[in-house]
Amino acid sequence: MSSDDFLGDEALPAWVSKSNSSHAAYEAIIRLKEQKLQYTRHHRQKGYFIKKGDYQLKKVEVAKAIGVMPQFIFNRNSYSMALTSFLEGVNKQLETVTVEKLTCK
């Protein structure tokens, strides 16, 4: 039994569908978010966080992870606005974690 079978579709936001790229993009954002959190956990100095791309996700990064052009998933589909909003929310979370880490020593 896979983790998808265990979680079921209830664990996914309404805009995510396994029948289009929204599911792959959603999973890529989750996976990339964990990578950025690991980066933040393993780096302590401010110098490692000069560029937002060091600790936040870019649209191009998500698109590359699933093998499509960023315009395709973030501009041209019915789920594009929701996906963009989700990515922005994840980036706000990553920013908060990073700022808290750098200000609490």
Establish if 46 belongs to a structural domain.
Answer: yes
Establish if 64 belongs to a structural domain.
Answer: yes
Please, what is the average pLDDT of the chain? Answer: 88
Confidence of residue 105 (pLDDT cuts 50, 70, 90): low
Confidence of residue 6 (pLDDT cuts 50, 70, 90): very low
Establish if 83 belongs to a structural domain.
Answer: yes
DSSP conformation class of 36: H
Contact 21, 66 (CB under 8 A): yes
Tell me, what's the pLDDT at 10? Answer: 57
Predicted TM-score (pTM) of this structure: 0.84
Establish if 1 belongs to a structural domain.
Answer: no
- 67: domain range? 20-103
pLDDT (mean) for 6-15:
70
- Position 28 pLDDT exceeds 90: yes
Domain count, the chain: 1
Establish if 13 belongs to a structural domain.
Answer: no
DSSP per-residue letters across the chain: --HHHHH-GGGS-TT--TTSHHHHHHHHHHHHHHHHHHHHHH--SGGGGSSGGGTS--HHHHHHHHTS-HHHHHTSSTTHHHHHHHHHHHHHHHHHHHHHHHH--
Establish if 14 belongs to a structural domain.
Answer: no
Please give the Cα distance from 6 to 12 (Å, whole number). 12
